[in-house]
Amino acid sequence: MDIKKILKNKKVLISLVVVILIIIFIIFVINNKNDGMSNTNKVSIYYKTYSNGKWSHWSKDGLTSGNYNNSIENIKIKVKTKLNGYVFYNVYSNGKWSEDLESDSKIKNEKIQGLSFENMDTLYNGYNICYRTYNKKDKWLAWACNGDPTGNIKKNITALEIKIIPKNVSKYEWLRDYNKTLKDSSKGF
């Protein structure tokens, strides 16, 4: 088989170029769906909120928990991973921050104005925890990550979203769908 003869044949050459372009397109599409986060299946965060006398259903990996109308008074969190790790969180209510709370902590049902979350143990080394809150005045606040406070000192939180994302990705790029209107992540803290 002579390569020079094949390359001189225009039909074969065009077919070869088309096949190469199709392969490049398929690789491009697969990489865009992956979003650089092939290891996100290793960690999932589940959370639910308590408001108006009842618990919400479990939300997962960035889905909204809360009903936008009633103040959140309590939170439960579960992290599912094969890694060693857990989440600490702090709650701001009645003019003060709580001590570090673990996933299964029981807090007194009080209207919450501020939150912060941090990954601990091996989750801290490889993952960011990002979260945002909603209140009736400010609507959705911008994402906060890794212990930064979110909320408004004067308004109760009525909904929240939490995500755990790998540290090797750009947080802004990964959260860009959610950053249509950038606002402060906290007011008054």
Distance CA 82, CA 79 (A): 10
Residue type, 63: L
Q: What local confidence, expressed as pLDDT, does residue 101 receive?
A: 74
Q: Chain-centre distance of CA 16, in angstroms?
A: 42
Q: What local confidence, expressed as pLDDT, does residue 134 receive?
A: 95
In the chain, which residues have pLDDT < 50? Answer: 34-41
Q: 9 forms bridges with which residues in the sheet?
A: none
Residue type, 83: L
Q: 65 forms bridges with which residues in the sheet?
A: 160
Tokens coding 130: 């990002």
Q: What local confidence, expressed as pLDDT, does residue 131 receive?
A: 94
- What is each CA distance from 188 to 21, 122, 185, in whole angstroms? 54, 32, 10
β-pairing, 54-55 vs 159-166, is unpaired
Q: What local confidence, expressed as pLDDT, does residue 157 receive?
A: 96
User: Can you give the pTM of this predicted structure?
Assistant: 0.71
Q: What local confidence, expressed as pLDDT, does residue 106 receive?
A: 62
